[in-house]
């Protein structure tokens, strides 16, 4: 009997073609962005600044350690912690309230209302914390509420969306059973949805606290006080040892926040049990109690007064700004300037993500925690790379932009590279964690066949890590488009620079126009990024 083999059917290629299309499009946009940054036409390197850059770099080995400055530095750290704790607490409170308003559970089949509620979050979510800080200073003056609200409002919008998604994704059996038993929607949600979602809600709340530390530093750069303000002062006075002391303090603060936040998230993901029953976790109890005490201490330390928010002067200033900000300015020269600045903003974000993605792919293998049994040299190298990535993401992008201006001429390129360096710190960590979670057997099989470490990584790890890393890169692009505003506020160009100019002129109609452009641009990038991620799946 002769067996007849059927010809294998080739898999459909429409997804592959879509990926090729997105890849070629991304390459074309990158070339366009590099050309817009002047890389192919203008002279971008500034050789005269190399000596100053050398003095800055050499000071890394001799940070300022005198008692007076360390005292100032300690006070700055406490101010930063206080802003972060209160900003994160406000964000969680606003997020809990907003989640009820934007959850699918609330709206049911009324998609129009749900879509409008979600769309309302786009405005506070689309503006960077620094932009909120700049606007709030004009309402409240140099009050501590500026730093707290500037963190709490945009973070609250993001938290509301995430909290709503967590509540919508938990199993709905208990909720449905309570409704069928005659319970109201609120009691059914409290007893049927909240308990199974509580782990995710707690984990994300602590993640927001980590992010709030970095945002508090950024707000310090625009005058809110704390570590960022001290860093800015030391940089503007060219006191490089003090700058490095601030950088090391900042890195240490971010490291503590990351380690503590990761410990809480891991414990939430793997709750302790005894005899098949969950029991109270001392670590989580201590973390929650410590955070609540920290919030109370921060309120006292910053001497916040609710009377400031309801003062007559605040109300008058708010009414004046709102009346002056509407309608938006639609003059032709302003619209042309907004269009040019929007192009610069997109080009900065594209170059930043390209730099960060390339660096993350190169460093992911080294930064990943090695398996047991590898030599001390590999472990030492991995630790050094992880610390370097921590330093990159601890220092705010405007500081990297100022450093790069030593050796690069002014333009959008220093701002783009500064964002790329900062994003590399974040993306490198995410790429390393994605590499650690891959199945190690293909690489082990290649090693058993005689392949070297580099060949094993290229053929056993890189092909499977490419998808997750590109997905993370697209997520970070959405963040980078907001961060371009931050470097722009400090003079790197784009919509941030235009916004700073209009605010300094108190031209509130033009400010509204720029803000609308920012929100629309952020929403457009979110949409393109979501489509690109769908093509990668």
What DSSP letter does each residue of 57-77 carry, written as one string?
A: HHGGGS----HHHHHHHHHHH
Whether the link from the prior residue into 205 is cis, omega within 30° of 0, is no
DSSP helix/strand/coil, 384: helix
Tens digits of pLDDT across the chain (537 residues)? 455 555 555 555 555 677 788 888 888 989 998 888 877 776 778 887 788 888 888 988 889 988 889 999 999 999 999 999 999 999 999 988 888 888 877 777 777 877 787 777 877 877 888 888 888 888 888 788 988 999 999 898 888 888 888 887 777 788 888 888 887 777 887 888 887 777 778 777 877 887 888 888 888 877 778 888 888 888 888 889 998 999 888 888 888 877 877 777 777 766 666 555 556 677 778 888 888 898 999 999 988 888 888 888 888 888 888 888 888 888 888 899 999 999 999 999 999 999 999 998 888 888 887 777 777 887 888 889 988 888 888 888 888 888 888 888 888 888 889 999 999 988 888 888 888 777 778 877 887 887 777 787 778 777 777 777 887 888 788 788 888 888 877 667 788 888 888 888 888 889 899 988 988 888 888 788 777 777 766
- Distance CA(253)–CA(393), nearest Å, equals 12
Q: What pLDDT, on the 0 to 100 scale, is given for residue 336?
A: 92
Q: From 220, 252, 247, select the one nearest 147 (Cα to Cα).
A: 220
Is residue 349 within 8 Å of residue 128, measured between CB atoms?
A: no
Tokens 């201490």 — which residue? 297
In the CATH scheme, what is the code of domain 329-536? 1.10.3720.10
Q: What pLDDT, on the 0 to 100 scale, is given for residue 99?
A: 84
Q: From 115, 205, 509, select the one nearest 335 (Cα to Cα).
A: 509
CB atoms under 10 Å from CB of 256, counted, come to 13
Q: What pLDDT, on the 0 to 100 scale, is given for residue 351?
A: 93
CB-based burial label for 181 (10 Å; 0-12, 13-18, 19+): exposed
The kind and range of the H/E element at 274 are: strand 273-274
Structure tokens at 145: 């509420």
Helices (H), 37-110: 50-58, 67-102, 104-107
Q: Which residues of 44-64 are buried (b: 16+ CB within 10 A; e: fewer)?
A: bebeebeebeeebeebeeebb
In sequence order, which residues have a C-beta less than 8 Å from that of residue 218 and are 6 or more positions away?
129, 130, 228, 396, 398, 486
Q: What pLDDT, on the 0 to 100 scale, is given for residue 201?
A: 80
Q: Which residues of 116-150 are buried (b: 16+ CB within 10 A; e: fewer)?
A: ebbeebbbbbbbbbbbbbbbbbbbbeebbbbbbbb
- Distance CA(199)–CA(458), nearest Å, equals 37
Is residue 325 within 8 Å of residue 509, measured between CB atoms?
A: yes
CATH 1.10.3720.10 residue ranges in the chain? Answer: 63-269+282-303, 329-536
In sequence order, which residues have a C-beta less than 8 Å from that of residue 227 and are 6 or more positions away?
73, 76, 77, 79, 80, 216, 217, 220, 246, 249, 250, 253
Q: What pLDDT, on the 0 to 100 scale, is given for residue 457?
A: 77
Whether the link from the prior residue into 327 is cis, omega within 30° of 0, is yes
DSSP helix/strand/coil, 522: helix
Topology of 63-269+282-303 in CATH? MetI-like fold (1.10.3720)
Q: How far is CA 1 from CA 4, 205, 250, in A?
A: 10, 68, 77
DSSP helix/strand/coil, 273: strand
CB atoms under 10 Å from CB of 199, counted, come to 17
The kind and range of the H/E element at 402 are: helix 397-404
CB atoms under 10 Å from CB of 444, counted, come to 13
- Distance CA(91)–CA(208), nearest Å, equals 8
Instruction: Count Cα neighbours of 209 within 13 Å in the Cβ-side half-sphere.
Output: 30
């Amino acid at each position: 009997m002769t067996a007849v083999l059927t010809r294998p059917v080739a898999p459909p290629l429409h997804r592959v073609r879509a990926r090729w299309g997105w890849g070629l499009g991304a390459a074309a946009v990158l070339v366009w962005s590099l050309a817009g940054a002047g890389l192919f036409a203008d002279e971008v390197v500034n050789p005269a600044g190399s000596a100053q850059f050398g003095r800055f770099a050499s000071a890394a080995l001799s940070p300022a350690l005198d008692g007076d400055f360390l005292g100032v530095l300690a006070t700055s750290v406490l101010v930063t912690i206080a802003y972060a704790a209160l900003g994160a607490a406000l964000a969680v409170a606003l997020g809990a309230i907003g989640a009820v308003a934007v959850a699918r559970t609330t709206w049911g089949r009324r998609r129009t209302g749900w879509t409008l509620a979600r769309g309302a979050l786009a405005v506070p979510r689309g503006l960077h914390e620094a932009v909120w800080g700049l606007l709030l200073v004009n309402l409240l003056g140099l009050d501590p509420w500026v730093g707290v609200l500037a963190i709490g409002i945009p973070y609250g919008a993001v938290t509301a969306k995430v909290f709503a998604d967590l509540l919508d994704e938990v199993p709905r059996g208990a909720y449905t059973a309570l409704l069928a038993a005659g319970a109201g929607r609120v009691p059914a949600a409290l007893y049927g949805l909240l308990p199974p979602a509580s782990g995710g809600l707690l984990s994300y709340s602590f993640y927001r606290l980590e992010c709030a530390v970095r945002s508090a530093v950024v707000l310090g750069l625009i005058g809110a006080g704390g570590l960022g303000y001290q860093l800015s002062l030391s940089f503007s006075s060219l006191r490089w040892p003090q700058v490095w002391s601030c950088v090391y303090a900042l890195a240490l603060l971010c490291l503590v926040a990351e380690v503590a936040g990761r410990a809480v998230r891991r414990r939430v993901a793997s709750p302790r049990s005894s005899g098949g029953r969950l029991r109270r976790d001392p670590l989580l109890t201590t973390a929650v109690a410590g955070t609540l005490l920290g919030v109370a201490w921060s309120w006292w330390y910053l001497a916040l007064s609710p009377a400031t928010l309801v003062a007559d002067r605040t109300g008058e200033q708010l009414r004046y700004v709102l009346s002056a900000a509407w309608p938006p300015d639609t003059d032709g020269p302003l619209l042309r300037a907004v269009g040019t600045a929007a192009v610069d903003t997109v080009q900065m974000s594209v170059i930043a993500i390209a730099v960060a993605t390339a660096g993350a792919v190169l460093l992911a293998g080294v930064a990943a925690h090695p398996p047991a049994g590898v030599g001390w040299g590999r472990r030492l190298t991995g630790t050094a790379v992880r610390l370097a990535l921590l330093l990159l993401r601890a220092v705010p992008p405007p500081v990297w932009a100022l450093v790069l201006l030593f050796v690069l001429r002014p333009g959008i390129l220093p701002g783009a590279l500064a964002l790329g360096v900062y994003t590399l710190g974040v993306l490198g960590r995410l790429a390393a964690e994605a590499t650690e979670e891959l199945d190690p057997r293909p690489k082990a099989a290649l090693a058993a066949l005689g392949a070297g470490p580099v060949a094993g990584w290229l053929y056993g790890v890189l092909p499977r890590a490419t998808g997750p890393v590109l997905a993370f890169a697209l997520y970070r692009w959405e963040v980078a488009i907001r961060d371009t505003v931050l470097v722009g506020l400090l003079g790197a160009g784009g919509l941030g620079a235009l916004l700073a100019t209009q605010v300094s002129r108190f031209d509130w109609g033009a400010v509204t126009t720029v803000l609308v452009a920012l929100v629309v641009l952020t929403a457009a990038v979110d949409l393109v990024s979501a489509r690109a991620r769908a093509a990668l799946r």
